[in-house]
Chains A and B, each alone.
Chain A
Amino acid sequence: MDIVYTIWLRNVKRYLRSKSRIIGSLGMPTFFLLVLGFGLNSVVSLPGMSHGYIGFIIPGIISMSVLFTSIFSGIQIIWDKQFGFLKETLVAPVSRIEIMLGQTVGGATTALIQGIIILVISLFLGLRISSIPGFALAIIFMTLIGLSFTAFGIAFASRMEDMHGFQLIMNFVVFPIFGLSGALFPIDSLPSWLRSLTMLDPLTYGVEGIRYGLLGTSQIDPVLSFVVLSGFTIFMVVLGAYLFRKIST
């Protein structure tokens, strides 16, 4: 555990120190919230939703923020590789699993902080937190998204030589995961072929879980959301750990 803590500590220290990164990564989610939220609030009316469109997308934008931050944290291993720091960690008498877990928990922590900042911003945009258990549930779902997608980033980073593949992953993996997740639209009203695609997207369950926690309503049973997302998290951590074991400097 002390090794996991050591790696976690480094990640959090680096995160808190890079003010530009914190502010920079808040830009897009805030922009989405304002533009989509206010822009579409009056035109879009959702059946059975009392919070308006802006209330509807807040959980989606929080998920987006957590998703992007965590994948980026995972992929950061490539920077460590290129700047040589990874060697220092790999040559120490510690197991790769510990390193990978530390990295995962560290990335998830930064992603969670990022998500909470968006949540706080949302409070100024009309979000009302009605119940503490609901809020706690939202945090749990945010944590699960953070853990699973940091591990996801690590899995990718373990197979990548340098940062060139990063753009590819952003465009062909991260954006589709976000776009298909039901962060921006209700999945019930989708055509059935598209709906089945969204049901295959693990982030859908995260978004729906957070939505249930914050708004009290969701289109997927929160128990199902929790089970699926937990399963996905375990799977990604195992896969990430497996691929990280074979990483070479």
Chain B
Amino acid sequence: MVAIEVENLTKEFNGFVAVDHISFSIESGEAFGLLGPNGAGKTTTMSMLSTMLKPTSGRASVHDFDILKEQDDVRKSIGIVFQDQSLDEELTAYENMDFHGRLYRIPKNLREKKINELLKLVELEDKKDNLVKTYSGGMRRRLEIARGLLHEPRVLFLDEPTLGLDPQTRNHLWSYIDRLNKEKGITIILTTHYMEEADKLCDRIAIIDKGKIIALDTSEKLKESIGGDVIEIMSSDRDKIHSVIKAFSWVKHVDVHNGSVTINLQNAEKHVAEIVNVAYDNGIEIESISIHKPTLEDVFLYYTGRTMREEEASSKDRMRMMHKPQRR
């Protein structure tokens, strides 16, 4: 069964295309990740799917409910954890949950039972009567996840669920999310710019850049698609290496970016010697050379020609440009 169906979804803000004709579909029970740098259009996509933002064009549906025509049905069938905190700090954890339960019109008995159950699940039951402003970042996140599940949604949206959390808390949250998906069969759609997060939690990953989906598959297949191995060469003479290396038939792809040259190829071990020799013959100095199996970072680099970090630096400028006129 299809949980989410997206067709040519597009969103423009004053001429800036934040999401550019994206299409994908998510199966029920799947954990699906939108991976990309900040400003790639992940949150905008989430906002449209959760009916918070109207698309400029295209269509999408959640459990066969159209996001434009059947807003309330969509809202009832999804739970959301927003990127920014959305708790009332002046209320206790229990009261935040209770408020949510009332908004979703959950009858009193069931509401009380579910709240206690969920607070237990996220290990906040003994702190449920403390004001949220006394909570740590990780506790708040857990509370938000519990709250998002209160009305028993079949799809859970997680927008950068572990942003700004320490590694230990992050691991903890991952195991919760994984359990929700595996044990309770809740469809999960999450956005992240942490490779590890996408790798660990998601069945399939869509890599999104500048509003477009540039690759979509399982983590393994994405890595396979760019060739079996990655060789990274650090050198001051990167352009020269690039021009020499790309002539070889066994090279699948070469990229030059800040500080290093990345080569995608099969059976890297066989060709390292060859690379070093060729560099030597051409008088190129190599500072270091390393071989590794492709990571999602390499996949991103392969498809966009930039690393995520480079991309984030430039997209921040773009966001600044985009937000300025709106503020007025």
Contact = CB atoms under 8 A, between A and B. Distances in A.
A85 interface: yes
A83 B88 CA distance: 8
A168 interface: no
A85 B103 CA distance: 13
A13 B103 contact: no
Contact of A93 (B84, B102, B104): B104
B89 A92 contact: no
Nearest to A95: B72
Interface in B204-237: none
A89 B103 contact: yes
Contact of B88 (A85, A90, A92, A93): A85
A91 B95 contact: no
Given A18-B90, A85-B88, A87-B52, A10 B82 contact: no
A5 B108 CA distance: 14
Contact of B91 (A13, A84, A89, A92): A13
A5 B85 CA distance: 24
Q: Which of A3, A14, A87, A249 has the most CB of B within 10 A?
A: A87
B50 interface: yes
Nearest to A3: B103
Contacts, number: 65
B75 A93 contact: yes
Secondary structure of the A side of the interface? helix
Interface in B20-63: 50-52
Contact of A87 (B82, B90, B327): B82
Contacts of A161: 327
Nearest to B87: A85
Interface string A82-105: 011111111111100000000000
Interface residues of B, number: 27
Interface in A89-133: 89-94
Contacts of B103: 3, 6, 89, 92, 94
Interface residues of A, number: 24
Interface in B92-119: 95, 99-100, 102-105
B50 A91 contact: yes
B85 A83 contact: yes
A88 to B, nearest CB: 4
A17 B90 contact: yes
B52 A84 contact: no
Contacts of A89: 103
A84 B102 contact: no
A188 interface: no
Interface in A190-208: none
Interface in B118-174: 147
A249 B99 contact: no
Nearest to B157: A91
B129 to A, nearest CB: 13
A161 B75 CA distance: 25
Contacts of B105: 2-3
Contact of B102 (A3, A14, A17, A87): A3
B100 A91 contact: no
Q: Which of B80, B82, B90, B327 has the most CB of A within 10 A?
A: B90
B54 to A, nearest CB: 10
B144 to A, nearest CB: 9
B179 interface: no
Contact of A92 (B73, B85, B104, B327): B104
A5 B50 CA distance: 25
Nearest to A89: B103
Contacts of B86: 83-88
A10 B91 contact: yes
B182 interface: no
Given A10-B99, A84-B84, A87-B82, A93 B72 contact: yes
Contacts of A92: 75, 100, 103-104
B76 interface: yes
Nearest to A15: B90
A91 B102 contact: no
A92 B76 CA distance: 7
Q: 5 smallest A-B Cβ distances: which pairs? A: A84-B86, A93-B75, A6-B102, A92-B103, A93-B72
Interface of B: 50-52, 71-73, 75-76, 80, 82, 84-91, 95, 99-100, 102-105, 147, 327
Interface of A: 2-3, 5-6, 9-10, 13-14, 17-18, 83-94, 161, 249
Given A84-B84, A91-B50, A92-B75, 11 more contacts: A3-B102, A10-B91, A10-B95, A18-B90, A83-B86, A85-B87, A88-B100, A89-B103, A92-B104, A93-B72, A93-B75
9 contacts: A5-B102, A6-B103, A9-B99, A9-B102, A10-B88, A83-B85, A87-B84, A93-B71, A94-B103
